[in-house]
């Protein structure tokens, strides 16, 4: 397991980006936990988050020269990650993101930022994988617009759920886009690292909550990993 994973889980708890309880998801499923990247809402928090993404990219997708973030949540992620990568590698790293709708005047087009060339090694960063559909759309749009290939995708949290076709969402996305997909942490690793561990003097994930997560994964999770 990567050395930064425990640090990252602590960071998620401290920023209240990972919470345990009862949460109704967009899919209608009732989940015993919830990941909310909107909690990274200060300069310090987004800077630290970008450093975790940069560490994962350096370990698993080295040589990245451009970072793409799909609108909207991917926009601050690509900026923070590119900044951290420049510091780590001492090399210029571009970033770019998309508009939801194409702009027809002034700075026209769907993409904003340092538009990559076919020579760039482009990595997408986003917050979470549930079914992977929006990421597939973003990859296709960038490929068609710029004629570039991605070297990989990095997300903060892999919920390890099945997509609408009943396939492991992360493996299904890898298969469809043809590049590696890396998560900073997945929910099973969270259970392994956090159960009965005190953070700031309190246990946030006890055996009962872990069992609720296991039950949820038996119902909705992938069994392929």
Catalytic status, residue 103: yes
Local structure of 92: helix, strand or coil: coil
State the DSSP code for 39.
G
54: left (phi over 0), alpha (psi -120 to 50) or beta: alpha
73 to 96, 122, 139: CA distances (angstroms) = 13, 18, 15
Catalytic residue among 5, 26, 60, 105: 105
Closest CA to 31 of 203, 223, 222, 187: 187
Catalytic status, residue 220: no
Catalytic residue among 103, 135, 209, 220: 103
* Cis peptide bond upstream of 51, omega within 30: no
Which residues are known catalytic residues?
Answer: 103, 105
């Amino acid at each position: 397991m990567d050395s930064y994973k425990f640090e990252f889980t602590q960071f998620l708890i401290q920023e209240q980006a990972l919470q345990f309880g009862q949460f109704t998801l967009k899919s209608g499923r009732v989940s015993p936990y919830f990941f909310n990247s909107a909690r990274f809402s200060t300069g310090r928090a987004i800077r630290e988050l970008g450093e975790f993404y940069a560490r994962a990219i350096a370990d698993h997708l080295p040589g990245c020269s451009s970072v793409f973030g799909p609108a909207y949540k991917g926009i601050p992620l690509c900026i923070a990650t590119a900044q951290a990568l420049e510091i780590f590698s001492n090399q210029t790293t571009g970033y770019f993101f998309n508009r939801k709708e194409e702009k027809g005047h002034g700075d026209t087009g769907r993409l904003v930022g340092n538009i990559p060339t076919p020579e760039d090694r482009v990595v997408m960063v986003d917050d979470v994988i549930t079914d992977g559909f929006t990421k597939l759309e973003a990859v296709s749009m960038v490929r068609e617009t710029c004629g570039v290939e991605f070297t990989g995708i990095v997300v903060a949290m892999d919920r390890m759920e099945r997509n609408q076709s009943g396939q492991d969402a992360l493996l299904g996305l890898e298969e469809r886009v043809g590049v590696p997909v890396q998560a900073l942490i997945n929910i099973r690793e969270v259970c392994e690292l956090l159960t009965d561990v005190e953070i700031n003097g309190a246990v946030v994930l006890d055996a009962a909550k872990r069992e609720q997560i296991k039950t949820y994964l038996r119902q909705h999770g992938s069994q392929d990993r």
